[in-house]
């Protein structure tokens, strides 16, 4: 029997593959689209049974080649570029692809764990898994929102596990291929190493410079939640996956810089000290993001806790420090 991980060469998918390996699971079918070939590096230290291109995989699924041969599907494959404007591509890749796998898993009565997104909440201020709080600002968020609606309808008659995770701002190792869509922590590490300073947006939506706040969640915590639900197939639903804490982008900047300074044997600095020394620099908020930007997110994780997940989550300071050490090639 195989465990299928889609988006397996991507950020979250490859971390899940590695974690499955660490608990002894190696019969993994890794599914992805390697048009951006550098993603292969994320799987070099992983053990898999086979790799399939997304289109080839879907053809085999629809032909019945995997019937009776799969014990779970962890569907992480998606276009996560919130600035993508090709709605037809986005809906095919994020909505139709997910729906086809849902059909397969319900038919086979096997667990289906999939990636949703906090983008479904748009510019709202309440981040609870309820329809009245959902209003995406871009087609990426809409593709995730629409599939969540289908899941809600089909869960009523489902005879197997279906779990959607509304990822908030995930950061951590194996995201280097994402380019501009990589996390702020990743970009700050590289900016500081190259230029000795980091850049943040000026204020918007009533927030001060760098004070826009997000629920930043470390990849280790995201993987742990996925595996927890994989171990509890009786649990289904759509769950926020964040820390339950909103922290400003300024915290990411100071945590990244101070972690880098620690590696250099230098003492930590406050935010104001970094600003006065030109280490933190604020740049104009991009016109292209106005009206499409979430200036504040904070996951309500009460539903996740009620489902039995009680592990603590990394703070920005803890997670970013660990991440910087990994990026620098040091033990975390």
Catalytic residues: 140, 178
Distance CA 174, CA 43 (A): 9
Distance CA 259, CA 175 (A): 19
Q: Name beta bridge partners: 170.
A: 217
In whole angstroms, how far apart are CA 310 and each of 79, 166, 184? 30, 17, 27
Distance CA 84, CA 73 (A): 26
Q: How many CB atoms lie within 10 A of CB 90?
A: 21
Q: How many CB atoms lie within 10 A of CB 305?
A: 13
Cβ neighbors of 272 (< 8 A, separation 6 or more) are: none
Q: Tell me if residue 316 falls in helix, strand or coil.
A: helix
User: 125 and 174 in contact (C-beta within 8 Å)?
Assistant: no
Q: Which two tokens stand for residue 7?
A: 């988006």
Distance CA 242, CA 332 (A): 21
User: Got the DSSP string for 218-276?
Assistant: EHHHHHHHHHHHHT-TT--EEEEES-S--EEHHHHHHHHHHHHHHHTT-----HHHHHH
Q: Which two tokens stand for residue 188?
A: 């700050």
Cβ neighbors of 197 (< 8 A, separation 6 or more) are: 191, 278, 279, 280, 281
Cα 10 from chain centroid?
10
Greatest Cα pair distance in the chain: 63
């Amino acid at each position: 029997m195989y465990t299928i991980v889609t988006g397996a060469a991507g950020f979250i998918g490859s971390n899940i593959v590695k974690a499955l390996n660490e608990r002894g699971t190696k019969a993994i079918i890794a599914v992805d689209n390697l048009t951006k070939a550098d993603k292969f590096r994320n799987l070099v230290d992983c053990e898999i049974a086979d790799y399939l291109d997304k289109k080839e995989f879907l053809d085999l699924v629809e032909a019945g080649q995997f019937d009776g041969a799969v014990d779970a599907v962890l569907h992480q494959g998606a276009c996560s570029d919130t600035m993508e404007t090709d709605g037809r591509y986005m809906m095919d890749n994020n909505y139709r692809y997910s729906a086809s796998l849902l059909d397969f898993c319900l038919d086979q009565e096997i667990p289906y764990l999939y990636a949703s997104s906090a983008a479904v909440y748009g510019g709202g201020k309440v981040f609870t898994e309820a329809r009245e709080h959902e209003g995406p600002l871009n087609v990426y968020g809409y593709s995730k929102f629409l599939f969540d609606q289908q899941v809600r309808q089909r869960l009523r008659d489902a005879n197997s596990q279906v779990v959607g995770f509304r990822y908030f701002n995930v950061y951590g190792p194996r995201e280097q291929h994402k380019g501009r869509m990589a996390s702020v922590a990743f970009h700050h590490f590289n900016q500081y190493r190259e230029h000795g300073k980091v850049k943040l947006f000026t204020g918007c939506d009533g927030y001060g410079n760098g004070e826009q706040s997000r629920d930043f969640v470390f990849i280790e915590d995201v993987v742990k939640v996925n595996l927890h639900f994989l171990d509890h197939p009786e649990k289904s639903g759509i769950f926020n996956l964040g820390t339950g804490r909103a922290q400003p982008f300024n915290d990411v900047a100071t945590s990244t810089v101070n972690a880098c300074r620690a590696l250099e044997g230098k003492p930590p600095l406050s935010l104001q000290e970094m600003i006065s020394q030109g280490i933190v620099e604020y740049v104009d908020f991009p016109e292209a993001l106005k009206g499409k930007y979430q200036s504040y997110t904070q996951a309500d994780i009460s539903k996740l806790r009620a489902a039995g997940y009680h592990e603590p989550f990394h703070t920005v300071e803890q997670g970013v420090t660990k991440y910087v050490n990994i990026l620098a090639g040091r033990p975390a």
